[in-house]
Amino acid sequence: MYKPLRISLLVILPLLMPAQLLAQVVALDEGESLYEKRAGWLPYLFASDSLGTAIGVAGFTAGTLQPQTSTFGTAFITSNDSILLSGAFNNYRPVKNGRLLIDSFVLVDRFTDQRFYSSPVPPGQPPAGSNDSNPESYTTGISNELTFSFDFKYRLPIGSLKNDPIAVYRLKHGLLGSGPPGGNAWNPMLNGQTTFGTKFFYTYRDISDFTFNQLGTNPIDEELDARTNGLNFWLEHNNTDFPRNPARGSRQVFNIYRDFGLLDSSGSWTNLQASLSKYFDMGRSDWFNQKVVALNFWTSDTVDWQRNPDGSVSHRPPPKYGSELGGIDHLRAYQSGRFHDKSAVSYTAEMRFIPKLQPLDEVPLLNYFQIDWWQVAPFIEAGRVAPAYNTDLYFKDLKWDVGVGIRLMAFRAVVRLDIAVGEEGSSIWAMISQPFSRTGK
């Protein structure tokens, strides 16, 4: 029997910046100039089990400092005294006509009812967060977080970027009109965009007045904290026709995360990730302007992970890093970080339809958001975590979910609302960008 639908941090923008969101791509409408300054803002209201009722505002600017730069920001407060502030400045070019671009991001939050799937469990039960773990094995408490990062991206002078590192796309009613070549035969020297990045990341998180849910303990008047800092080396080859809303082509992203155990880090760890995506254009029809099959395979392994005889783990990435499933991108029916272990694998298939019928542009209040199209995307996902990286990881005891996404092209960016149902219940997530379109966590 399924549990009632839960709304999981239903916010439009607060989670959009923890990873690179194709900031080096510029999308312009017909007749719009690269040198025009653009801006927009959006008030929002939402409710969730862990936050209560929240009210917030989000905004963006584009082209304010340089033609390709953009800024994002959001903030909200809730009825249970939680608060979040987040902002990013993307695509800064320190050298005129250079190929180096810089992104920056900061997040500060305080949640008074935060859940982590890490907890002592009764004897004989699987560790909390493992593939066969009890969904009630979690810790709740008051959590504070500070995260910031600086990402240095070098756009290689090959393929579509041979002459210009900034990819400018012209749109017609939100669909691709013209742009750099992509989606053709896979050859990085001739097609697509290849980017190498190095990101410095830092996260501090603590939890206090916490309760071990499965054990039914009273709130513990202590504070636990975890700190991580390090470097993320990543390589992306994007051979799609339009990276923000691909209709054909493929994309490969490889990440190496390394916390060296320096400064105030809680411990060293090393994580490897790979994401492979493929898109098939199924053409137009009497009812739809676009039909696309989107497939993704994602896998992760923490190579120095070590489970000790007492059950503790050495060289373990903190929450939001490492081999995790559940949340906005993988196994969306499950809570964020529901599953975590040394290794993980995820499979996703979506069918994306953009109807010809577009009534939203006739609604006066919605005209401000420049909504070009809406999209319906049924999807299915499967995946699991495991204590070792072997063939069993790929096929045995996979968790699953099914769902449907509603996406909008607003301000030339994709906004999505995904509803998913799985073995442990249902979740709703709101987010910027299509699934599996980011380069890292």
Q: Hey, what long-range contacts does 219-224 have (CB within 8 A, 24 or more apart)?
A: 219/141
* Mean pLDDT for the stretch of residues 256-273: 96
Cβ–Cβ < 8 Å for 433, 22: yes
Rounded CA gap, 146 and 89, in Å?
A: 17
Residues in a beta bridge with 57: 43, 75
pLDDT band at 53 (very low <50, low <70, confident <90, very high): confident
Rg of the chain's alpha carbons, rounded to an integer?
A: 21
Average pLDDT over residues 325-352: 95
pLDDT at 195 over 60: yes
Res. 406: pLDDT tops 90: yes
* Rounded Cα–Cα distance for residues 130 and 55 (Å): 34
Check whether domain 94-100+113-432 has CATH 1.20.272, yes or no = no
Under the banding of pLDDT at 50, 70 and 90, the label for residue 17 is very low
Give the pLDDT band of residue 25 (cuts 50, 70, 90). Answer: confident
Mean pLDDT of the chain: 89
> 415 near 432, Cβ under 8 Å?
yes
What are the residue ranges spanned by the domains of the chain? 94-100+113-432
| Dist CA 280 CA 240 (whole Å) | 10
Which residues, including other chains, have CB under 8 Å from residue 96's CB and lie 6 or more apart? Answer: none
- Whose CA is closest to 106, among 173, 17, 178? 17
What's the rounded mean pLDDT across residues 294-316? 92
pLDDT digits (tens, 9 = 90+) for 112-140: 999 999 888 778 889 999 999 999 999 99
Q: Name the residue with higher pLDDT: 3 or 298.
A: 298
Rounded distance, CA 439 to CA 432, Å? Answer: 14
Please report, as a single letter, which amino acid is at residue 152.
F
